[in-house]
């Protein structure tokens, strides 16, 4: 295996680091909190697509929002202008992005027949420098093909912000770092197991019997031992080699040193705190002997403190539009009766 053509000038060391790709951090905050005026419309203060993306990877974050959505939808009473299906879409947009939009549908005489939900991620408020006052629906993110909707045909519901009054922002922004950390911990642990329950190793070689082609072949075999092939066996023959000629040095023992369970526990509590949803309503398994308390009492307090204020925000739109678009019934829990 010795290299007969070696000149003796080859590098004495050979270092190569290779790894798997890593998801980029969610950029849920924009470059600035202020809404930039591009001459046509105002830019969003928060990256709403990242908010939606986090909804699909944050377990407790998603569960809390869906819990609010289900309770809120159960209390809605359909009206002549708004169906239950359209309300659920509106409420989902409102809870996740902090903005909810309803567009009026009119007949040929200008009478409002009903309202349809518009996805908040594509809605933009027209600039004060634009010649019309209203909203743009940028479905393909191209201004030239955007639909313009007059302000008089839009009901814009938004969660308030302290910096600007053009768009709403969700009230859970303070908990997004915890949601990201929770997701990162899960992703790291999954990759750790996919990698064969190790975080990598250093191949330390002092065997002079191997030439550059042999080293390159060995490196290729290690690269192929990723994911599905991470249990691949590598055969190496070096007749005059020494027992210590090639060593595998583990980088770290992740199973013993990482804080996976602590991170998951702390970040889960953060998400429950920021959403103010009782764990008993989210399917959380109790870890303490005392359990999670009475679910009925928790549901009643949750409805009074969280659902009713959201209902009030929707009902304000009735006065602004001078029509009964929203209507709610009190939140009640069914009482079970056992025949004796």
Residue range 217-244, pLDDT digits in tens: 777 777 666 555 454 566 666 777 677 7
Q: In the predicted model, is pLDDT for residue 325 greater than 50?
A: yes
Q: In this structure, is residue 18 part of a structural domain?
A: no
Domain that holds residue 122: 28-171+294-326
CA 72 to CA 306: how far, in whole Å?
10
* Cβ neighbours, 10 Å, residue 294: 11
Quote the number of domains for the chain: 1
Q: In this structure, is residue 158 part of a structural domain?
A: yes
Regarding pTM above 0.85, the answer is: no
CB-based contact 142:124 (threshold 8 Å) = no
pLDDT at 340: 40
Q: In this structure, is residue 34 part of a structural domain?
A: yes
Instruction: Name 233's Cβ contacts closer than 8 Å, sequence gap at least 6.
Output: none
Q: In this structure, is residue 276 part of a structural domain?
A: no
Q: In the predicted model, is pLDDT for residue 27 greater than 70?
A: no
CB-based contact 175:274 (threshold 8 Å) = yes
pLDDT at 18: 55
* Percentage of the chain modeled with pLDDT above 90: 36
- The distance in angstroms from the start CA to the end CA of the chain is 88
How do beta strands 123-125 and 112-118 pair?
Answer: unpaired
Would you call 136 helix, strand, or coil by DSSP? strand
**Residues 9-28, mean pLDDT to the nearest whole number:** 53
Q: In this structure, is residue 213 part of a structural domain?
A: no
Tokens of 94: 């409102």
* Percentage of the chain modeled with pLDDT above 70: 75
Q: What is the per-residue pLDDT across 100-154, written as a single tens digit (0 to 9) for each? A: 999 999 999 989 999 999 999 999 999 988 888 999 999 877 788 889 999 999 9
CA 297 to CA 303: how far, in whole Å?
10
The model's confidence at residue 191, banded by pLDDT at 50, 70 and 90, is confident
CB-based contact 52:95 (threshold 8 Å) = no
**Sheet containing strand 147-150, strands side by side:** 123-125, 134-137, 147-150
Q: In this structure, is residue 80 part of a structural domain?
A: yes
pLDDT at 320: 81
Q: In this structure, is residue 21 part of a structural domain?
A: no
Tokens of 190: 């999954």
Q: In the predicted model, is pLDDT for residue 289 greater than 60?
A: no
Of 62-66, 151-155, 283-287, which range is least confident?
A: 283-287
Q: Which residue has the higher pLDDT, 8 or 290?
A: 290
How do beta strands 112-118 and 99-106 pair?
Answer: antiparallel
Of 52-66, 118-132, 226-240, 290-304, which range is least confident?
A: 226-240
CA 334 to CA 286: how far, in whole Å?
24
CB-based contact 42:127 (threshold 8 Å) = yes
Q: In this structure, is residue 63 part of a structural domain?
A: yes
Would you call 113 helix, strand, or coil by DSSP? strand
């Amino acid at each position: 295996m010795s290299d007969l053509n070696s000149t003796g000038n080859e590098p004495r060391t050979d270092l190569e680091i290779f790894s798997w790709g890593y998801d980029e951090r969610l950029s849920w905050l924009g470059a600035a909190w202020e809404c930039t005026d591009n001459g046509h419309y105002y830019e969003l203060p928060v990256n709403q697509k990242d908010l939606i993306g986090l909804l699909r990877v944050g377990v407790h974050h998603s569960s809390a929002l869906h819990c609010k959505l289900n309770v809120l939808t159960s209390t809605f009473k359909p009206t002549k202008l708004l169906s239950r299906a359209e309300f659920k879409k509106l409420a989902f947009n409102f809870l996740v992005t902090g903005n909810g939009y309803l567009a009026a549908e009119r007949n040929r005489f200008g009478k409002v027949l009903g309202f349809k939900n518009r996805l908040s991620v594509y809605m933009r408020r027209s600039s004060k420098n634009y010649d019309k006052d209203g909203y743009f629906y940028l479905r393909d993110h191209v201004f030239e093909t955007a639909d313009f909707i007059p302000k008089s045909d839009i009901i814009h519901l938004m969660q308030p912000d302290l910096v600007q009054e053009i768009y709403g922002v969700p009230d859970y922004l303070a908990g997004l770092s915890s949601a990201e950390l929770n997701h990162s911990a899960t992703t790291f642990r999954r990759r750790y197991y996919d990698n064969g329950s190790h975080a990598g190793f250093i191949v330390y070689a002092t065997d002079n019997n191997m030439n550059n082609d042999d080293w390159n072949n060995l490196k290729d075999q290690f690269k192929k031992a990723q994911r599905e092939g991470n249990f691949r066996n590598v055969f190496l023959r070096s007749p005059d080699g020494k027992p210590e000629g090639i060593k595998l040095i583990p980088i770290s023992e992740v199973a013993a040193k990482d804080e996976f369970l602590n991170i998951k526990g702390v970040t889960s509590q953060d998400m429950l705190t920021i959403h103010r949803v009782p764990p008993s309503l989210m399917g959380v398994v109790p870890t303490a002997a005392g359990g999670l308390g009475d679910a009925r009492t928790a549901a009643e307090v949750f409805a009074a403190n969280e659902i009713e204020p959201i209902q009030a925000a929707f009902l304000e739109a009735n006065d602004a539009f001078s029509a009964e678009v929203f209507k709610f019934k009190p939140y009640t829990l069914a009482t079970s009766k056992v025949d004796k």
